[in-house]
Structure 1
Amino acid sequence: MDFNNSYRVDLREMNFLLWEQFDIEKNLLDPTVNAEYNKDFIQQLLFHARDFAYNELGPNYQRADREGCKLLDDGTVQLPSKYQGIWQKYTDAQWGRLSSPQHYDGLSSPYIVAQMIYEVFQGADPSFMVYSGFCAPAMYLIERFATAEVKQCFSHKLATNEWTACLCMTEPQAGSDVGAITTKAIPQDDGSYHIEGGKIFISAGMHELTDNIVYLLLARVEGARPGTTGLSCFVVPRYDLQHDGSLIDNHVRCVRLEDKMGIHGCATAQLSFGDNGPCKAFLLGDRENIGLRQLSSMMHMARISTGIYALGLAGRAYMSAAEYAENRVQGTSFKEAFNPRAKKVSIMAHIDVRRMLLEMKSKVEGCRALIHKLTFHQSWLTNLQALETLHPEKSEQYQALSKHHESLVHLLTPIVKAYTSDQAWRVAELAIQVYGGHGYIKDHPVEQIARDVKILSIWEGTSFIQSADLMKDKLAMGRNSKLLVVYQDQVKTSIARNRKAGVLLVETDALELSLAIFVKTHALMGTWVKEQKLELIFSISTRFLEMMAEVTLSWLLLDGAVIAVQKLKNLEDSQDEAFYTGKIASAQFYVNNILPGVKSKAEIIAKEDTSALDATGDMFLQRTDLYGKQYF
């Protein structure tokens, strides 16, 4: 069977964010922190990443989907046939070391650069990227909390991708309700623990790509209190490392692989721990019952990674649809609809196709700007930590700056995760529509993209969980929120800069009005708290998160468009004319067609509709026929 390599990526758009909109050469790159990462080196990294994606990952995307993963009789998992070879090339090229620190043989790249490269790879073959995706977060979690002995065993192996890692939280009875976890940890005389229980939905949970897999696992120590406060985090190796360096079976078994809608190349495993022998585990740190608190920092990174995964696939869907529209000849121009001799045109000439492509383009570019606004601030946090070590006399100054950047990272994370994953699904659906009937068949890539992208609004906390986190932990349930003040200042600074430039003033007015509506709606939530209408807040929290996302994307798209207007005035390279014109069109389309949703959502929220609160379960389930017989 032939497999298509339809992968495409627009490095010009990425370079615009790096060197024009966020201007990291001026605002971020610091030779005293990491001199190697200058503009030329970063651009070369992006080119090499594109080539790896085109030549290695892209050609395998459809093949891996068709071959899938198989659980063999001996308990091993068979991955798609090309993955072992690609893994070897991936690790030889040191791509998995981008985010790792230098003292563990990592490349210690700026966070924004590493995540931009991972976007390229995620768009090319997301199933493959899951196998390495948890290595850096697990390593940093171990570095932050684990004992010296545990660090010595696991950190270097994870930093170099010599071993991989997985997060094990979900159980059949405990999905979003983490407090219902029943997996048991039994203390041993030597300070270790034995794990007994099972976990489901473990992404990349069993494979033979590496000699070992490290599981970060939530369990309840015998006798610990119920609920989330009785959970501890453990480091559980698939194979236990002996003093002589050898590995022995640690009694972790794969008992099932999930048959999923998408990401078929990723082995989503059900695992049992200790059912046929003792499964040794190490407590993360020296305290029990703080596992969920420890994992919160890693979940933060995982949610950003989910947004990047969604962005990679959304970008691929958009570019595939645009290329197809350019080449697919169908019908005549609307202006010559009644001319029997009219020349046939590509569907790119049809107005509704251009409308769909522009919606996809604006959402992809807006979400990319949103994500790299966050990664820009996360990169600054890393810089400031290094600078504080180099210049301890400036510690107070650096800590104040860190607090500012950390505030924006925390505020934007739930929006990145929820909005990008939701919109990636809608972009994929629009891509299928552009292809028409051809988009629904497997010869073309967009049906697979849609299947692969849907999981992302569920992974690492559903979109509702992100909206609840935004309302409760970031925006103070509508009351005075320091993070909201920081956010408003950022948007208002951008609005003032646009007015000073004197361009796109109508769109800037729309942004200013929408920001005011958003802030007013936030205050309404505070009123509901006083009136003890907390349930009402959570009934509309997903809609409220969308409002904030739409304001944010409009702000960032307009920032890019103002730069584009200025660049067009002194254009040196005519090839950039279409690019900059496209940046302006993306901003105008989003502001004129998507941003008005802020006002309409605010009006809906203000109605205080209680339909969902008043609904009862039987109205959804009960059915009767004409004779009164009930069907369930």
Structure 2
Amino acid sequence: MAKKYVSRRNLEFMLYEVFDIVGMTQYPYYSAHNKKMFDMTLDAALKLSKDLLNPIFEEMDRQGPVLENGKVKVHPMVRTIMQRFGEGGWIAAKFQEEFDGAQLPYLIADACNFIFSAANYSAHVFPGLTSKAARLITSFGSQEQIDTYVPKMLNGEWQGTMALTEPQAGSSLADITTTAVPTDKGYYLLQGQKIFISAGDHDGVDNVVQMLLAKIEGAPAGVKGISMFIVPNQRIAADGGLEPNDVTITQIYHKMGYRGAPITELSLGEKGDCRGWLVGEPHNGLSYMFQMMNGSRLGVGMGAIGISSAAYYAALDYARERPQGRLVPDPATAQVPIIEHADVRRMLLFQRAFVEGAFSLLMQCCRYSDLELAVEGEEKEKASLLLDLLIPVAKTYPSETSILSTSQAIQIFGGYGYCEDFPVEQHFRDTRIHAIHEGTTGIQGMDILGRKVRMKGGKAFTLFVQEVNATIAAARALEKLAPYADRLATALEELQQVTEQLKGFGEEKGTRAMLADATLYLEYFSLIAIAWQWLLQSIAAEKALAGKPSQSNQQFYQGKLHTTRYFFHYELPKTAGLAQRLKEQEAITLEMEKDIFND
């Protein structure tokens, strides 16, 4: 493994200098915290990742889960991980004090999740999923359900999952066929099948609690008929112990990467006795699940960034140590480390620009999440709308770009990078899932263009433009940043024009035509959002440099400014080609008949 997989200095820069997490403690909701506690939390997360997660990074990949006698067996350290994360309060980190949670700001809690993902993504999935599932119960469940399930989930004894997908219903949840028949005993009898369920069963916990979507018998058609149920693999028996709940694990999927965590297929009610307990009101299941989905999408983005961070630091270490080639055409001179070559530096800059730029965007989303909880009125609505708008970007840009970034890490290693001797091939395999799960890239594109930029009469999009313009104005006041502020202003103005033009195209040609290139629109929007984040970081760096910092800090801030230069000269210009395509009102993909694809 690499000597380093995250930058503590960058975490501190983001938390304290860019997003001012200490300022969050002015609000009553977060008033119990202070900078010393945040520093201690980072220390604890780094130690836990170093001592517990990272040492088994390769083992969990090489010794993947197996299905034996109807039970999934995972790496033996998974039970220890769940126990340690439960005892240490990591699963409950964001939960309110009433649930024995730490009530940590999202900014610090998700910075720690970034550390855990970088150390060992597969390992962190187990407690991460459990936390999100427990949040659904505390948000929408009854007091009895909270008392029955949440304590054991938050202390790491029981696993939590989300069970949505079915063989004929992946992204199209309106087509799920799992049914729930009411009884007079307070539970429903479920029957159906679920596929691709992460951590749907394993021996690292005593029980698995599925947060499951199904349709009550006689429910309305489509998404309006979906309800949410708690379906434990082991239900509580009359004597207070656990007994089988007619949930059968029919297979585990053998995956390209992310192999340390099992993805399972579940068969419900083969014996007619799979019991589920309704969460909240009937037919509101999809709206409830979107709370978990939105949190999961942000988690997917953060996971992809964490994996790419580990790959970047592995490539950086290798580039500094690997001798190859010379700077002058004289074979008598010594070879130089490959970091001396411009193209290697370009690949490293691409990785750094992505990792630190995307992490900044996720921190921006965390700040909005914190404000949602801490403030009221218009400020709360603003934070909520901006978060909702940015979720497709925060999920997709990291997911898609991580594939390219980890690939560049392999390229720096050359042939060694393609082999199991070094970790980057595993990082590449591990990250590929992120563009698929929790809503594919295509789904996210349709979400942002078809709904998010238009919701509430375009209010969220208008607020986004105002946020970026505020950063542009602040950057223009700093002489060295003014040219980059102008570049972003030009790109932002064109984004507004393209967005309005696409809306008009939809009104004229229909929604299907408007959304034909929604994925390209999302990529276009994302580049501008990341440029905004780099400008935001550069403002903080310039202000810090004006204070005459130490030499090591001076190098850090100069590195930020140089990486900003890279992004604005190499990545932001890509928006020009995307804008040109999006302005062309030719529905090429729709107009091509499917039979033309035949040989």
What TM-score range do you get, normalising by the shorter chain? over 0.9
Q: How far apart are 1:6 and its partner, in Å?
A: 5.5
Instruction: Note the 1:206-355 alignment, pairs <5 A.
Output: 206-242=201-237, 244-285=239-280, 287-333=281-327, 336=328, 338-355=329-346
- The equivalent of 2:428 in structure 1 is 450
Letter in 2 for 1:561: S
Letter in 2 for 1:257: I
Tell whether the 8 Å contact from 2:163 to 2:197 is kept in structure 1 after alignment: yes
- The equivalent of 1:410 in structure 2 is 388
Instruction: Note the 1:146-165 alignment, pairs <5 A.
Output: 146-165=141-160
Q: Which range moves more in the overlay, 152-161 or 311-320?
A: 152-161
- The equivalent of 1:394 in structure 2 is none
Q: How far apart are 1:33 and its partner, in Å?
A: 3.0
2:15 to 13, 18, 27: 18
Tell whether the 8 Å contact from 1:182 to 1:220 is kept in structure 2 after alignment: yes
- The equivalent of 2:34 in structure 1 is 38
1:535-583 CA-partner distances (Å, limit 9, x unpaired): 2221111111111111111111012112212322333321112211110
Matched position secondary structure for 2:162: strand
The separation in 1 between residues aligned to 2:278 and 2:480, in whole angstroms, is 58
1:131-177 CA-partner distances (Å, limit 9, x unpaired): 11122222222222222222221222223333211111111111111
1:378 to 369, 379, 387: 369
- The equivalent of 2:461 in structure 1 is 484
Structure 2, unmatched stretches of 5+, are none
2:407 to 407, 417, 429: 429
Q: How far apart are 1:516 and its partner, in Å?
A: 0.5
1:56 to 52, 57, 64: 52
Q: How far apart are 1:244 and its partner, in Å?
A: 4.5
1:554 to 531, 555, 560: 531
Task: Tell me if 1:588 matches 2:565.
Answer: yes
1:288-331 CA-partner distances (Å, limit 9, x unpaired): 22211221222111111111111111111111111111111111
The separation in 1 between residues aligned to 2:164 and 2:273, in whole angstroms, is 20
- Taking only aligned residues, the RMSD between alpha carbons, in angstroms, comes to 1.6
Q: How far apart are 1:508 and its partner, in Å?
A: 1.2
1:448-475 CA-partner distances (Å, limit 9, x unpaired): 1111101001110011111111112211
1:93 to 88, 92, 97: 88
Q: How far apart are 1:192 and its partner, in Å?
A: 1.0
Q: Could you say if the C-alpha distance between residues 480 and 399 of structure 1 is closer, same or farther in structure 2, counting changes exceeding 3 Å?
A: closer
Letter in 1 for 2:361: L
Structure 1, unmatched stretches of 5+, are 385-397, 624-632
2:350 to 346, 359, 363: 359
Task: Percent identity, please.
Answer: 31
1:571-625 CA-partner distances (Å, limit 9, x unpaired): 33211122111100111111111111122211111122322112222222x33xx
Matched position secondary structure for 1:254: strand
1:140 to 110, 128, 135: 135
Q: How far apart are 1:530 and its partner, in Å?
A: 2.5
The separation in 1 between residues aligned to 2:3 and 2:542, in whole angstroms, is 32
The separation in 1 between residues aligned to 2:517 and 2:418, in whole angstroms, is 33
Q: Which range moves more in the overlay, 530-539 or 306-315?
A: 530-539
The separation in 2 between residues aligned to 1:114 and 1:243, in whole angstroms, is 38
Give TM-score scaled by structure 2 length: 0.97
Q: How far apart are 1:23 and its partner, in Å?
A: 1.5
Matched position secondary structure for 2:161: strand
Matched position secondary structure for 1:540: helix
Tell whether the 8 Å contact from 1:128 to 1:265 is kept in structure 2 after alignment: yes
- The equivalent of 2:516 in structure 1 is 539
Tell whether the 8 Å contact from 1:214 to 1:235 is kept in structure 2 after alignment: yes
1:395-436 CA-partner distances (Å, limit 9, x unpaired): xxx222111111111111110001111111111111111111
Matched position secondary structure for 2:325: strand
Tell whether the 8 Å contact from 2:85 to 2:155 is kept in structure 1 after alignment: no
The separation in 1 between residues aligned to 2:3 and 2:209, in whole angstroms, is 34
The separation in 2 between residues aligned to 1:53 and 1:227, in whole angstroms, is 43
Letter in 2 for 1:184: T
- The equivalent of 1:368 in structure 2 is 359
- The equivalent of 2:472 in structure 1 is 495
- The equivalent of 1:113 in structure 2 is 108
Tell whether the 8 Å contact from 2:21 to 2:107 is kept in structure 1 after alignment: no
Tell whether the 8 Å contact from 1:457 to 1:463 is kept in structure 2 after alignment: yes
The separation in 2 between residues aligned to 1:140 and 1:87, in whole angstroms, is 17
Letter in 2 for 1:423: T
Task: Tell me if 1:400 matches 2:378.
Answer: yes
Matched position secondary structure for 1:132: helix
Tell whether the 8 Å contact from 1:7 to 1:58 is kept in structure 2 after alignment: no
Q: How far apart are 1:277 and its partner, in Å?
A: 4.7
The separation in 2 between residues aligned to 1:132 and 1:253, in whole angstroms, is 23
Tell whether the 8 Å contact from 1:475 to 1:483 is kept in structure 2 after alignment: yes
Give TM-score scaled by structure 1 length: 0.92
The separation in 2 between residues aligned to 1:189 and 1:566, in whole angstroms, is 66
The separation in 2 between residues aligned to 1:7 and 1:573, in whole angstroms, is 22
The separation in 2 between residues aligned to 1:238 and 1:524, in whole angstroms, is 51
The separation in 1 between residues aligned to 2:571 and 2:457, in whole angstroms, is 28
The separation in 1 between residues aligned to 2:565 and 2:62, in whole angstroms, is 40
Aligned length: 599
Matched position secondary structure for 1:198: strand
Q: Could you say if the C-alpha distance between residues 97 and 140 of structure 1 is closer, same or farther in structure 2, counting changes exceeding 3 Å?
A: closer
- The equivalent of 2:199 in structure 1 is 204
Tell whether the 8 Å contact from 1:9 to 1:50 is kept in structure 2 after alignment: no
Q: How far apart are 1:31 and its partner, in Å?
A: 6.7
The separation in 1 between residues aligned to 2:584 and 2:390, in whole angstroms, is 27
1:122 to 117, 121, 145: 117
The separation in 1 between residues aligned to 2:348 and 2:2, in whole angstroms, is 21
The separation in 2 between residues aligned to 1:46 and 1:100, in whole angstroms, is 18
